[in-house]
Structure 1
């Protein structure tokens, strides 16, 4: 499926490839070079899932409000709830 690069460096991803990758308007993609020199286009969701920080998402602490979290980060006593 050949495509043409525009003067701005843009290309149109063929519909069959967009469908295969589940891409739609507004989707983000990344490009990765493989060991054999090829370039892969990867949906951004897949790249984020492999992030070294992914395992820490959602671990701010259950039941803590913003003031309590800020008090912990600033080493201040938390004010009691009113």
Structure 2
């Protein structure tokens, strides 16, 4: 990402407006969230906050899954092909054929 340097003014309420070039570079819009990281050297790093459940369908699915787990209902694993496709979509190795090392708590 190219370096973008902008300046913002702090209001009497401690608020700032992220300059448009910064919002565009971060890919955030009205209602979007950003994270602030204060480093030991005094620098502040601003980054786009990763939303846990941006897609309402995924949020609803995860809610149903949590209910099933709490109720002790049997949950079957994903088919290997589907798991591999999902992991490939996010750029991760599936690791499905690897041995599990160490203890596993279920």
Q: TM-score range by the shorter chain?
A: 0.5 to 0.7
Please point out which of 8, 16, 19 is paired with 2:13: 8
- TM-score, length-normalised on structure 1? 0.55
The number of equivalent residue pairs is 58
- TM-score, length-normalised on structure 2? 0.44
1:10 Cα deviation after fit: 0.7
Following superposition, which runs of at least 4 residues in structure 1 exceed 4 angstroms of deviation? none
1:40 Cα deviation after fit: 0.7
RMSD across aligned C-alpha pairs, in angstroms? 3.2
1:69 Cα deviation after fit: 4.5
Q: Deviations over 1:12-54 (max 9, x none)?
A: 11101111100101101111012422011111118x6xxxxxx
Other-structure match for 2:29:
24
Other-structure match for 1:43:
48
